Amino acid sequence: MTREIHSALLTYVSVFLLLYVFAALPARAELVTTDQAAPQAQSERERVKALIARPEVAHKLELMGVQPKDVQARVDALTDEEVASLAAKIDALPAGGLSDTNWLLIIIAILLVLIIAL
């Protein structure tokens, strides 16, 4: 008889513990904004925009006949993957002063990415 009581008690305790675990973890659903879901992509986009907004880059763009506001609009039109790729290329550049030729190559690369995106 004690074996039957022990088996029944073990079954009741097991069922109780399983019910307690499932009852203790209720499901929740919340809305997630785009900024919460992809903050990194937004910060990379801001970094690219900050590079384009620099005075020497804006001046070079104007010399090439491209208005900085047009470039800003094109950066806004890039996908997150394209922005991440462009930001990675910017990060790969050496720190320090770049010559005019290097800046020109960077601007050309940015414009090519922007042209391809259109």
SS3 content of the chain, % helix, strand, coil (to 5): 80, 0, 20
Q: Where are the domains of the chain?
A: 39-117
pLDDT at 25: 56
Q: Is 0.75 topped by the overall pTM?
A: no
pLDDT at 100: 66
pLDDT at 75: 84
Is residue 106 over pLDDT 60?
yes
Terminus-to-terminus CA distance in the chain, angstroms?
A: 81
